Amino acid sequence: LSSRTPVTNGITNHLPTPVQRPRRLRISPALRDLVRETRLTPAQLIAPIFVRHGRDLRVAIRSMPGQYQMSPDQAAREARELAERGIRAVLLFGIPAHKDACGSENADPDGIVPQAIRAIKDAVPGMVVISDMCFCEYTDHGHCGVLNSPDRSDFQPQLGEGYLLNDPTLALLAEASVVHARAGADIIAPSGMIDGMVATIRAALDSAGLSHTSIMSYAAKYASGFYGPFRDAAESPPQFGDRSQYQMDPANAREALREVDLDVAEGADILMVKPALAYLDIIRQVRDRHTLPLAAYQVSGEYSMVKAAALQGWLDEQRIALETLTAIRRAGADMIITYWAKEAAEWLG
């Protein structure tokens, strides 16, 4: 370098020194820790658990490496392991023994989710148990409620066969929510994007003496390709069509705020935006607009695409998982539902 001919004629000797040097605060790990704006702790993470009938069962989910469908005893064991790592909440999805047109098992007090709730509460009484309240896992057609059909007395020809009927679905949601809450669920999390679901479930819980049971509303849930791997996990793909007649268009942001406003007015205790990474702008806008606690759901596709790339050796899974979780927190989420909950709790120490 010293042998290089100066091309600046000594002008670099007279450059002003920077007034601000942000790099000063990046010199050591301790300094970086001191000025970190966003914290990520295991207590902010919620672990999804897929439960199915049986004993001592752990069935690997092909599209989601590291995730399993578990029988209630195994779900209880999992809850213990999660609690040891500082995770305070789980979100349950049920795979029923039988599916039918109106998803009857969802309202069965001995159905798979009530069984799992009791097993988990027995094993870890302090664990917050959240029940995902939807019908897509329970119906033979895989849609999130009951469908318009000529065999129904309320058939609506102008809507076409197979249209998801809103108000008849509300009645079923009310019934199943009371069953799950009676089994011990602390929080009911309606995820079907059915109009009026929060108000209906609130009224049903209150009239059943369950005014202490909270509602975490999937307030802004988009019709997303990122749910792909979940269809394997919950065995819940729609048998025809898709969910765009009830879930939101990814192109819309104002509509998400309207959905959220409605759920606030209907009595939601916790709001949710789903998916997370492609919707950080929505998380931020909801955070700025409302004071209720806000959850974000880092969904199956967000998990599986990183797992797949990591298995190829193309990226560092731990680093990407913690980076995305931190970004979701930075965008404004108080809590994050994530398939990395257990691993992230370990990484966070």
Q: How far is the CB of 48 from ligand PBG (least distance, A)?
A: 7
d(CA 269, CA 292): 7
Q: Residue written as tokens 């057609």?
A: 141
- Residue 134 Cβ vs ligand PBG, minimum distance, rounded to whole Å: 4
* Among the residue ranges 13-21, 115-123, 128-136, 171-179, the one whose residues contact ligand PBG (CB under 6 A): 128-136
Check binding of 201 to ligand PBG (CB under 6 A). no
Q: Which of 344, 218, 221 is nearest to 279 (CA)?
A: 221
Judged by CB under 6 A, does residue 230 bind ligand PBG?
A: yes
| Smaller CB separation from ligand PBG, 74 or 300 | 300
The span of 96-104, 131-139, 173-181, 327-335 binding ligand PBG (CB under 6 A) equals 131-139
CA distances 201 to 48, 181, 198, 334, Å, are 22, 11, 5, 23
102 is in an annotated binding site: no
Where are the strands (E) in the chain, listed by range? Answer: 45-52, 58-60, 68-70, 89-95, 128-133, 187-190, 214-221, 270-274, 294-298, 335-338
Q: Is 4 annotated as a binding residue?
A: no
Residue 276 lies near ligand PBG (rule: CB under 6 A): no
CB 66 within 8 A of CB 249: no
> Is 121 a residue of the active site?
no
Q: Cα 124 from chain centroid?
A: 22
What are the Cα distances from residue 281, in Å, to 95, 163, 253, 254, 277?
33, 31, 8, 11, 9
Q: Which of residues 234-253 bind ligand PBG (CB under 6 A)?
A: 243
Q: What are the CA-CA distances from residue 230 to residues 74, 233, 268 (Å)?
A: 20, 5, 25
Count of H helices and E strands in the chain?
11, 10
Q: Examine residue 132 and tell whether it contacts ligand PBG (CB under 6 A).
A: yes
Task: Please identify, using beta-carbon distances, which residue of 103 and 192 lies nearer to ligand PBG.
Answer: 192
CB of 338 to ligand PBG, least distance (A): 9
Q: Judging by DSSP bridges, how do beta strands 214-221 and 89-95 pair with one another?
A: unpaired
Judged by CB under 6 A, does residue 200 bind ligand PBG?
A: no
Nearest distance, CB of residue 349 and ligand PBG, angstroms: 26
Q: Which amino acid is at 101?
A: A
- Shortest gap between Cβ of 68 and ligand PBG (angstroms)? 14
H or E element that contains 281: helix 280-289
What sign results for the dihedral spanned by CA atoms 148, 150, 154, 159? positive
Which one of 299, 331, 333, 345 is in contact with ligand PBG (CB under 6 A)? 299
Selected from 191, 217, 285, 324, the binder of ligand PBG by CB under 6 A is: 191
Does position 134 interact with ligand PBG (CB under 6 A)? The reply is yes
Shortest Å, Cβ 20 to ligand PBG: 43
274 is catalytic: yes
Positions that interact with ligand PBG (CB under 6 A)? 132, 134, 136, 144, 191-192, 227, 230, 243, 299-300
Question: Annotated binding site for Mg(2+), which residues?
Answer: 259
Question: Annotated binding site, which residues?
Answer: 134, 136, 144, 231, 243, 259, 300, 339
Question: Annotated binding site for 5-aminolevulinate, which residues?
Answer: 231, 243, 300, 339
Catalytic residues: 221, 274
